[in-house]
Amino acid sequence: MTTYVIGDIQGCLVEFTKLLTKIRFDPSKDTLWLTGDLVNRGPDSAETLRFIRDLGSSVVAVQGNHDLHLMAIVFGNHKVQRTDTVHDILSARDCEQLCHWLCEFPLLHVEAGYILVHAGIPHIWTLPKAKRYAQEVHDAMLGTNSMHFFRRMYGNEPAQWCDSLRGVDRLRVITNFLTRMRCVDPDGQLNFEHVLGREQCPKNYRAWFDYTPQYSEHVVFGHWASIGGVTSRFQFHAVDTGCVWGRQLTALRLPDHKRFSVSAESI
């Protein structure tokens, strides 16, 4: 049995299936970890979800910001943005079924010395705290008042963690750390404007993985395509290599960290 981690698919089904063929993925004995952002910006979001769903229990996935955005549209009545490519899901007969299935995925998965997360874990959190905070958000997503969460999920404030935060502000900043984070300052203040490489982080900010963490587990994450899958830190493994931007879709094999990639074709 082998575990592979694949970065942000974002509806790039052609590349996804080619990568599975390349690694000879066998759902009867192998496990597939997905870093989130299964949908949006690519051409085949609906079929991508159906394909992943049909892989059954061989798949472990976490929420990405684009997945949450889709659920905010479906469950929170948010508007579709000009750059969104989720119309195939929204017009599908099984739209709600797909989104309820998608909603079941957590924001954080920890297993066998590895942490799977979409954006990262800030250095100001211990792993037990990160797990607890991620569960708070997932409980809100699945709870009886989930519409309220999805309606108020968006926003850049608060941009810094505080233990005393409550309500939607607390849930929003947890969500932003786990699904949107790139650069933070030494106190854990988020910067949402920077989307370029790690060397271009604004003054007093660094890539979240350039701080000393409070845990020993390896972290596998996606989200930050502009760093090209490179962190230069043995403990941190970036696997979003920008397929939706015309570059590559990448799989990381655990635990030897060998990488496999296919070039983008359908974008």
DSSP state of 164: T
DSSP state of 63: -
Q: How many angstroms separate the CA atoms of 85 and 5, rounded? A: 24
- Interhelix angle 45-54/95-103, nearest 10 degrees: 60
Q: How many angstroms separate the CA atoms of 65 and 137, rounded? A: 13
pLDDT by residue for the chain (267 residues), tens digit each?
899 999 999 999 999 999 999 999 999 999 999 999 999 999 999 999 999 999 999 999 999 999 999 999 999 999 999 999 999 999 999 999 999 999 999 999 999 999 999 999 999 999 999 999 999 999 999 999 999 999 999 999 999 999 999 999 999 999 999 999 999 999 999 999 888 888 889 999 999 999 999 999 999 999 999 999 999 999 999 999 999 999 999 999 999 999 999 999 855
Instruction: Fill in the amino acid letter for 108.
Output: L
Name the helix (H) or strand (E) containing 5. Answer: strand 3-6
Domain ranges in the chain are 3-263
Q: How many angstroms separate the CA atoms of 74 and 70, rounded? A: 6
pTM exceeding 0.75: yes
Q: Which CATH superfamily is domain 3-263 in?
A: Metallo-dependent phosphatases (3.60.21.10)
Q: How many angstroms separate the CA atoms of 112 and 50, rounded? A: 28
pLDDT for the residue numbered 194: 85
Token pair 């845990």: residue: 215
pLDDT for the residue numbered 198: 87
